Protein backbone atom coordinates (compact mmCIF):
# COMPACT_ATOMS: atom_id res chain seq x y z
CA UNK A 1 0.00 0.00 0.00
CA UNK A 2 1.43 3.35 -0.99
CA UNK A 3 1.66 6.32 1.30
CA UNK A 4 -0.92 9.07 0.88
CA UNK A 5 1.09 11.56 2.87
CA UNK A 6 4.83 11.58 3.43
CA UNK A 7 6.57 14.25 5.46
CA UNK A 8 10.29 14.54 5.81
CA UNK A 9 11.91 17.21 7.93
CA UNK A 10 8.72 19.29 8.00
CA UNK A 11 9.35 22.57 9.77
CA UNK A 12 7.49 25.80 10.35
CA UNK A 13 8.57 28.83 12.35
CA UNK A 14 6.31 31.55 13.70
CA UNK A 15 8.87 34.18 14.52
CA UNK A 16 11.30 32.52 16.87
CA UNK A 17 8.94 29.83 18.06
CA UNK A 18 8.80 26.75 15.91
CA UNK A 19 5.28 25.43 15.53
CA UNK A 20 6.46 22.18 14.03
CA UNK A 21 9.99 21.01 14.25
CA UNK A 22 11.40 18.41 11.92
CA UNK A 23 8.35 16.20 11.56
CA UNK A 24 8.72 12.86 9.85
CA UNK A 25 5.75 10.63 9.25
CA UNK A 26 3.85 8.84 6.58
CA UNK A 27 0.19 7.92 6.31
CA UNK A 28 -1.00 4.96 4.28
CA UNK A 29 -4.16 4.81 2.22
CA UNK A 30 -7.28 3.41 3.81
CA UNK A 31 -6.41 4.43 7.36
CA UNK A 32 -8.11 6.63 9.91
CA UNK A 33 -5.36 8.52 11.62
CA UNK A 34 -5.72 10.55 14.79
CA UNK A 35 -3.27 13.41 15.19
CA UNK A 36 -3.49 14.15 18.86
CA UNK A 37 -1.70 16.70 20.98
CA UNK A 38 -2.18 19.45 23.52
CA UNK A 39 -3.03 23.03 22.52
CA UNK A 40 -0.25 24.66 20.59
CA UNK A 41 1.50 21.40 19.81
CA UNK A 42 1.47 21.98 16.07
CA UNK A 43 -1.53 19.89 15.05
CA UNK A 44 -3.33 22.58 13.12
CA UNK A 45 -0.11 23.81 11.56
CA UNK A 46 0.58 20.30 10.30
CA UNK A 47 -2.87 20.07 8.80
CA UNK A 48 -2.52 23.49 7.21
CA UNK A 49 0.76 22.44 5.66
CA UNK A 50 -0.91 19.33 4.24
CA UNK A 51 -3.72 21.44 2.84
CA UNK A 52 -1.39 23.99 1.31
CA UNK A 53 -2.77 26.71 3.55
CA UNK A 54 0.56 27.69 5.00
CA UNK A 55 4.17 27.88 3.95
CA UNK A 56 6.69 25.47 5.47
CA UNK A 57 10.18 24.10 5.06
CA UNK A 58 11.11 20.52 4.37
CA UNK A 59 9.55 17.90 2.18
CA UNK A 60 5.88 17.09 2.10
CA UNK A 61 4.13 14.99 -0.46
CA UNK A 62 0.34 14.65 -0.38
CA UNK A 63 -1.16 12.28 -2.94
CA UNK A 64 2.12 12.64 -4.79
CA UNK A 65 1.82 16.42 -5.01
CA UNK A 66 3.48 19.34 -3.30
CA UNK A 67 0.73 21.25 -1.46
CA UNK A 68 2.64 24.52 -1.84
CA UNK A 69 2.77 24.32 -5.63
CA UNK A 70 -0.24 22.23 -6.58
CA UNK A 71 -2.90 23.19 -4.08
CA UNK A 72 -5.61 23.75 -6.68
CA UNK A 73 -5.19 20.31 -8.22
CA UNK A 74 -4.82 18.74 -4.82
CA UNK A 75 -8.18 20.08 -3.70
CA UNK A 76 -9.89 17.82 -6.23
CA UNK A 77 -8.91 14.91 -4.03
CA UNK A 78 -8.91 16.39 -0.55
CA UNK A 79 -11.80 17.47 1.60
CA UNK A 80 -11.45 19.54 4.68
CA UNK A 81 -13.60 20.42 7.66
CA UNK A 82 -12.07 22.87 10.09
CA UNK A 83 -13.51 23.44 13.52
CA UNK A 84 -17.08 24.61 13.17
CA UNK A 85 -18.39 27.79 11.64
CA UNK A 86 -16.21 28.39 8.64
CA UNK A 87 -19.21 28.38 6.35
CA UNK A 88 -20.05 32.03 5.58
CA UNK A 89 -23.12 33.36 7.36
CA UNK A 90 -24.96 34.53 4.27
CA UNK A 91 -24.82 31.16 2.55
CA UNK A 92 -28.08 29.27 2.02
CA UNK A 93 -28.20 25.49 2.01
CA UNK A 94 -29.33 25.52 -1.60
CA UNK A 95 -26.54 27.89 -2.60
CA UNK A 96 -23.94 25.76 -0.89
CA UNK A 97 -25.09 22.75 -2.90
CA UNK A 98 -25.23 24.76 -6.13
CA UNK A 99 -21.80 26.22 -5.65
CA UNK A 100 -19.98 23.04 -4.70
CA UNK A 101 -21.76 21.18 -7.51
CA UNK A 102 -20.65 23.94 -9.86
CA UNK A 103 -16.97 23.98 -8.99
CA UNK A 104 -16.23 20.45 -7.77
CA UNK A 105 -15.91 17.74 -10.40
CA UNK A 106 -16.38 14.94 -7.88
CA UNK A 107 -19.45 16.22 -6.09
CA UNK A 108 -22.52 13.98 -6.11
CA UNK A 109 -25.41 16.28 -5.38
CA UNK A 110 -28.00 13.58 -4.83
CA UNK A 111 -25.86 12.06 -2.11
CA UNK A 112 -25.69 15.35 -0.25
CA UNK A 113 -29.42 15.88 -0.62
CA UNK A 114 -30.13 12.40 0.66
CA UNK A 115 -28.17 13.16 3.76
CA UNK A 116 -29.74 16.58 4.25
CA UNK A 117 -33.23 15.09 4.16
CA UNK A 118 -32.43 13.33 7.40
CA UNK A 119 -31.69 16.66 9.07
CA UNK A 120 -33.78 19.67 9.91
CA UNK A 121 -32.04 21.78 7.30
CA UNK A 122 -34.15 23.14 4.51
CA UNK A 123 -32.82 24.54 1.22
CA UNK A 124 -33.66 28.16 1.97
CA UNK A 125 -32.04 28.20 5.39
CA UNK A 126 -29.07 30.48 5.87
CA UNK A 127 -25.98 29.51 7.87
CA UNK A 128 -26.68 32.56 10.04
CA UNK A 129 -29.85 30.91 11.31
CA UNK A 130 -28.31 27.53 12.07
CA UNK A 131 -27.04 26.12 15.31
CA UNK A 132 -23.44 24.99 15.42
CA UNK A 133 -24.56 21.41 15.06
CA UNK A 134 -26.56 22.19 11.96
CA UNK A 135 -23.63 24.00 10.35
CA UNK A 136 -21.54 20.90 10.84
CA UNK A 137 -24.32 18.75 9.42
CA UNK A 138 -24.38 20.92 6.32
CA UNK A 139 -20.63 20.82 5.97
CA UNK A 140 -20.58 17.09 6.49
CA UNK A 141 -23.30 16.66 3.85
CA UNK A 142 -21.16 18.58 1.37
CA UNK A 143 -18.00 16.71 2.21
CA UNK A 144 -19.53 13.24 2.23
CA UNK A 145 -20.89 13.80 -1.24
CA UNK A 146 -17.40 14.48 -2.58
CA UNK A 147 -15.52 11.42 -3.69
CA UNK A 148 -12.19 12.50 -2.28
CA UNK A 149 -9.20 10.37 -1.38
CA UNK A 150 -8.23 12.24 1.74
CA UNK A 151 -10.50 13.83 4.31
CA UNK A 152 -8.92 16.16 6.83
CA UNK A 153 -10.86 16.99 9.98
CA UNK A 154 -9.59 19.68 12.33
CA UNK A 155 -11.51 19.51 15.60
CA UNK A 156 -14.68 18.75 13.64
CA UNK A 157 -16.94 18.34 16.64
CA UNK A 158 -15.70 21.23 18.76
CA UNK A 159 -18.57 22.86 20.61
CA UNK A 160 -21.17 20.32 19.55
CA UNK A 161 -23.45 18.51 21.92
CA UNK A 162 -23.11 14.80 22.39
CA UNK A 163 -25.90 13.83 19.98
CA UNK A 164 -24.35 15.68 17.09
CA UNK A 165 -20.91 14.34 17.95
CA UNK A 166 -22.00 10.72 17.97
CA UNK A 167 -23.98 11.20 14.80
CA UNK A 168 -21.06 12.88 13.11
CA UNK A 169 -18.65 9.99 13.54
CA UNK A 170 -21.34 7.43 12.90
CA UNK A 171 -22.15 8.92 9.49
CA UNK A 172 -18.51 9.25 8.71
CA UNK A 173 -17.88 5.58 9.33
CA UNK A 174 -21.04 4.14 7.89
CA UNK A 175 -21.68 6.31 4.87
CA UNK A 176 -18.32 7.68 3.91
CA UNK A 177 -15.29 5.70 4.83
CA UNK A 178 -14.00 2.84 2.70
CA UNK A 179 -10.65 1.31 1.88
CA UNK A 180 -9.91 3.89 -0.83
CA UNK A 181 -10.28 6.79 1.52
CA UNK A 182 -8.04 8.11 4.21
CA UNK A 183 -9.15 10.23 7.11
CA UNK A 184 -6.89 12.42 9.20
CA UNK A 185 -8.44 13.78 12.39
CA UNK A 186 -7.18 16.14 15.04
CA UNK A 187 -9.19 16.42 18.19
CA UNK A 188 -9.07 16.94 21.92
CA UNK A 189 -11.92 14.58 22.46
CA UNK A 190 -9.88 11.43 22.32
CA UNK A 191 -12.51 9.18 23.87
CA UNK A 192 -14.74 9.94 20.96
CA UNK A 193 -12.42 8.89 18.19
CA UNK A 194 -10.64 6.14 20.08
CA UNK A 195 -12.82 3.39 18.60
CA UNK A 196 -12.68 4.50 15.01
CA UNK A 197 -8.96 5.20 14.66
CA UNK A 198 -6.67 2.74 12.97
CA UNK A 199 -3.53 4.78 13.55
CA UNK A 200 -2.38 7.18 16.17
CA UNK A 201 0.09 10.04 16.25
CA UNK A 202 0.85 11.94 19.42
CA UNK A 203 2.40 15.29 18.79
CA UNK A 204 4.02 17.55 21.36
CA UNK A 205 5.93 20.81 20.89
CA UNK A 206 6.01 20.24 17.16
CA UNK A 207 7.50 16.79 17.43
CA UNK A 208 5.95 13.35 16.99
CA UNK A 209 6.05 11.60 20.36
CA UNK A 210 4.37 8.42 19.28
CA UNK A 211 3.29 7.06 15.94
CA UNK A 212 1.77 3.61 15.82
CA UNK A 213 -1.19 1.60 14.64
CA UNK A 214 -3.87 0.93 17.23
CA UNK A 215 -2.88 -2.76 17.19
CA UNK A 216 0.67 -1.86 18.02
CA UNK A 217 -0.54 0.42 20.78
CA UNK A 218 -2.56 -2.31 22.43
CA UNK A 219 0.35 -4.72 22.13
CA UNK A 220 2.89 -2.33 23.46
CA UNK A 221 1.06 -0.65 26.30
CA UNK A 222 -0.54 -2.41 29.21
CA UNK A 223 -2.33 -1.07 32.22
CA UNK A 224 -2.20 -2.97 35.45
CA UNK A 225 -4.39 -2.59 38.53
CA UNK A 226 -1.55 -3.35 40.85
CA UNK A 227 -2.29 -5.33 44.03
CA UNK A 228 -0.98 -3.61 47.13
CA UNK A 229 1.43 -6.50 47.76
CA UNK A 230 3.05 -6.18 44.35
CA UNK A 231 3.70 -2.43 44.39
CA UNK A 232 7.44 -2.66 44.82
CA UNK A 233 7.80 -5.31 42.14
CA UNK A 234 5.71 -3.20 39.80
CA UNK A 235 7.76 -0.07 40.48
CA UNK A 236 10.89 -2.01 39.55
CA UNK A 237 9.51 -2.49 36.01
CA UNK A 238 9.53 1.30 35.57
CA UNK A 239 5.94 2.19 34.74
CA UNK A 240 5.43 5.04 32.33
CA UNK A 241 2.82 6.53 34.55
CA UNK A 242 0.87 5.71 37.64
CA UNK A 243 -2.28 6.98 39.24
CA UNK A 244 -4.51 6.03 42.08
CA UNK A 245 -8.18 5.18 41.63
CA UNK A 246 -10.35 4.19 44.59
CA UNK A 247 -7.32 3.24 46.61
CA UNK A 248 -5.87 1.05 43.89
CA UNK A 249 -2.78 1.96 41.96
CA UNK A 250 -2.99 1.81 38.22
CA UNK A 251 0.27 1.66 36.36
CA UNK A 252 0.92 2.03 32.68
CA UNK A 253 3.76 0.00 31.20
CA UNK A 254 5.44 0.46 27.88
CA UNK A 255 6.83 -2.64 26.20
CA UNK A 256 6.72 -4.94 29.19
CA UNK A 257 5.44 -8.40 28.15
CA UNK A 258 1.99 -9.23 29.47
CA UNK A 259 3.06 -12.54 30.95
CA UNK A 260 5.43 -10.68 33.18
CA UNK A 261 2.73 -8.27 34.33
CA UNK A 262 0.01 -10.84 34.80
CA UNK A 263 0.94 -11.75 38.36
CA UNK A 264 1.05 -8.08 39.48
CA UNK A 265 -2.67 -7.63 39.16
CA UNK A 266 -5.52 -7.27 36.70
CA UNK A 267 -4.43 -6.33 33.15
CA UNK A 268 -6.19 -4.20 30.61
CA UNK A 269 -5.55 -2.18 27.50
CA UNK A 270 -5.17 1.47 28.41
CA UNK A 271 -7.66 4.04 27.18
CA UNK A 272 -6.10 6.48 24.73
CA UNK A 273 -6.82 9.34 27.06
CA UNK A 274 -4.73 7.74 29.79
CA UNK A 275 -1.97 6.91 27.35
CA UNK A 276 -2.10 10.51 26.16
CA UNK A 277 -1.79 11.88 29.66
CA UNK A 278 1.12 9.56 30.36
CA UNK A 279 2.91 10.48 27.17
CA UNK A 280 2.34 14.20 27.52
CA UNK A 281 3.50 14.27 31.12
CA UNK A 282 5.17 17.56 31.80
CA UNK A 283 3.68 19.36 28.82
CA UNK A 284 2.20 22.08 30.94
CA UNK A 285 4.82 22.06 33.64
Partner 1 sequence: MNTMKWLIKREMWEHKGMLLWTPVVVASLVAILAITSIFLGKNASFADAQQAFSIGTITIEGKARMVMVDTIAHGYIMAAAPVLALLSLLVFFYCLGALHDERRDRSLLFWKSLPVSDTATVTSKAILALVVAPLITMLVAIALALVILVAGCVLLLSHGTNLFGGLLLDPALYLSPLRLLTLLPVYIIWALPTVGWLLMVSSMARSKVFLWAVGTPVITSLLLMWADRILQLGLDGGWFTAHITNRILLGVVPGSWMGFEMDNVLQHVRNEHLAPFESIYYASWHTLTSPSAWIGAAAGLAMLAIAIRMRQRREEV
Site for partner 1, rule CB under 8 A: 48, 51, 53-55, 71-73, 75-76, 78-82, 85-92, 95, 98-100, 102-105, 139
Query: Considering beta carbons, is residue 70 or 213 the nearer one to partner 1?
Result: 70
Residues β-bridged to residue 86: none
| φ, ψ of residue 63 in degrees (nearest 5) | 50, 35
Q: How far is the CB of 97 from partner 1 (least distance, A)?
A: 12
Query: Toward partner 1, which CB reaches closer, 71 or 111?
Result: 71
Q: Supply the minimum distance, in Å, between the C-beta of residue 152 and partner 1.
A: 9
Q: Which lies closer to partner 1 via its Cβ, residue 100 or residue 112?
A: 100
Closest distance to partner 1 from the beta carbon of 88 (Å): 4
Residue 81: CB minimum distance to partner 1, A: 8
Nearer to partner 1, 152 or 275 (CB): 152
Do residues 134 and 116 touch, judged by C-beta distance below 8 A?
A: no
Q: How far is the CB of 157 from partner 1 (least distance, A)?
A: 16
Nearer to partner 1, 84 or 278 (CB): 84
Amino acid sequence: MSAIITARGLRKQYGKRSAIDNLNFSIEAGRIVGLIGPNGSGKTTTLKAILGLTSFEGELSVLGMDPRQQRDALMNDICFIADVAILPKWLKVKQALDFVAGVHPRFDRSKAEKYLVQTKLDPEMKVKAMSKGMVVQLHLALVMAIDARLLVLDEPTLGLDILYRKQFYQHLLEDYFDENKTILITTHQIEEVEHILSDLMFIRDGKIELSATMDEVSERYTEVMVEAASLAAAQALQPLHQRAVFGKTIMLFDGVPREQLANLGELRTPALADLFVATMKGSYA
